[in-house]
Structure 1
Amino acid sequence: MKGQEWYQASEVAEEYDEKRFSRGGRLIDRREKEAVLDALEPVAGKRVLEIACGTGRFTVMLAERDANVTGLDISGPMLQEGRQKAHQSGVADHLEFMRGDAARLPFPDDHFDTVFAMRFFHLADTPAKFLSEMARVSKDQVFFDTFNRFSTRSLYNWLLPMGSRLYSAGEVERLVEGAGLHLADDDHDFVVPYGFYRKVPDWVADPVRNADITIGRSFAGNALASVSYWDARV
């Protein structure tokens, strides 16, 4: 996976949420959580696995909605941040954090109702292998996001410390089919790239986001989107 050493540093984990989801970045956080909930709900009583759970933004959110959640990540410091978040939210009793490799998931076949990954596939060096493992341990749903090849993301991708793998829609469709899955739904968003929102204050981000949503709902919206959410079934 790209940037493993950078990602596993303690100082990166401690500052991760603040750097990415404060200021205008809060709009990204809100939209990503909305995308996860739209795809996964209702989650109460479901057994859910999050791949690359990081600091637990989504694992804690789902545990608060009574899902039985396991979060897996390669970074010990990121997992520690997630555990602290779970304790602060009072959901540590039905949320488990594990350090592990997404290419070799330590679970039997069909172990979870839903398996999902956010902010993961842009770092994946072997996406077909990762998606096949996600499909193997899920008995129903696999959900993930990608950054799009023909989008504004490509304009600054080379500047990022971990880089990004960018995908065309056709490439994602082939990966899904190769993993033995079928697409149930897809959604596309963010004409203006993430990097912009993280750099600007709320009073700038809010009107830009409103314009972004308007463009996204237009005829050309899907083609211009920099992020896609893919909902697949076993």
Structure 2
Amino acid sequence: MKGQEWYQADEIAAEYDDKRFSRGGRLIDRREKQAVLEALAPLEDKTVLEIACGTGRFTTMLADQGADVVGLDISAAMLQQGRQKAHEAGVDETLEFIRGDAARLPFPDDHFDAVLAMRFFHLADDPQAFLGEMRRVSRERIVFDTFNRYSTRSIYNWALPMGSRLYSKREVEALAETHDLSIVDSQHDFVLPYGLYRITPNALASPLRRIGDVFDALPGVNRLASVSFWTTRID
């Protein structure tokens, strides 16, 4: 995985949410959570594994919606942030955090109803192997996102601390087909790049988003979307 040392640093974990999901970044957080809930609902009594759960943004939300959740991450510092978040939300009993490697998941085959991976595949050096492990432990569904090859992200990708692996629609379809996964839904969003929202004050973020929505609605523009959310079903 790219940037493992950077990602696991204590100071990165402590500042992670504030740097990415404050100011206009809160809008990104809401949109990602909406996509996850739509992909996994209904959640009551479902067992869900989140790969690279980080600070527990999604795991805490899923547990609050009635799922029995395991969050796995390689960073002890990120997991500590997640445990604190789960405690504050009162979902400790239905949410477990485990430190582990997504390439060697410590679970038996078909162990979870669904597996989730957000903000993960852009760092994966071997996406085939990682998706294979996710496929192995999931009974029904795998949900993930990708950053897109033809998006504005490609312009500033070189300047990011870890860079990003960018995907075309055809590459994702081939990746899913290799593991006998059917793509049952896909959503393509944020023609305007994430970085622009993060530096935008709250008062201007919503108007900026409305401008982005105008572009998103134009025919063929979803090819330029920064991110795609993929919902797959095991065949």
Q: TM-score range by the shorter chain?
A: over 0.9
Counterpart for residue 11 of structure 1: 11
Counterpart for residue 151 of structure 2: 151
CA deviation after TM superposition for structure 1 residue 214, in Å: 2.1
Per-residue CA shift, 1:203-230, capped at 9, x if unaligned?
Answer: 2221110111122122123112110011
Find the aligned partners of 1:63 and 1:141 in 2 and give their Cα distance: 17
Letter in 2 for 1:148: N
Find the aligned partners of 2:56 and 2:217 in 1 and give their Cα distance: 30
Letter in 2 for 1:141: R
Structure 1 gaps of 5+ residues are: none
Is 1:88 equivalent to 2:88 in the alignment?
A: yes
Find the aligned partners of 1:95 and 1:125 in 2 and give their Cα distance: 28
Counterpart for residue 111 of structure 2: 111
Structure 2 gaps of 5+ residues are: none
Letter in 2 for 1:20: R
* Structural RMSD (CA): 0.7
CA deviation after TM superposition for structure 1 residue 15, in Å: 0.4
| Stretches of 4+ aligned residues off by more than 6 angstroms | none
Letter in 1 for 2:151: S
Q: What is the total number of aligned residue pairs between the two structures?
A: 234
Counterpart for residue 229 of structure 1: 229
Per-residue CA shift, 1:155-201, capped at 9, x if unaligned?
Answer: 11111111100000000111101112111111100000111111111
Letter in 2 for 1:210: R
Residues 1-234 of structure 1 aligned to structure 2 (within 5 Å):
1-234=1-234
Letter in 1 for 2:175: L
Letter in 2 for 1:194: Y
Secondary structure at 1:123 match in 2: coil
CA deviation after TM superposition for structure 1 residue 13, in Å: 0.3
Find the aligned partners of 1:182 and 1:69 in 2 and give their Cα distance: 24
Find the aligned partners of 2:158 and 2:68 in 1 and give their Cα distance: 38
Secondary structure at 1:115 match in 2: strand
Secondary structure at 1:233 match in 2: strand
Letter in 2 for 1:225: A
- TM-score with structure 1 setting the length: 0.98
Letter in 1 for 2:210: N
Q: Percent identity?
A: 66
Find the aligned partners of 2:162 and 2:47 in 1 and give their Cα distance: 31
Find the aligned partners of 1:43 and 1:106 in 2 and give their Cα distance: 23
Range with greater deviation from structure 2 (130-139 or 202-211)? 202-211
- TM-score with structure 2 setting the length: 0.98
CA deviation after TM superposition for structure 1 residue 66, in Å: 1.0
Find the aligned partners of 1:221 and 1:36 in 2 and give their Cα distance: 23
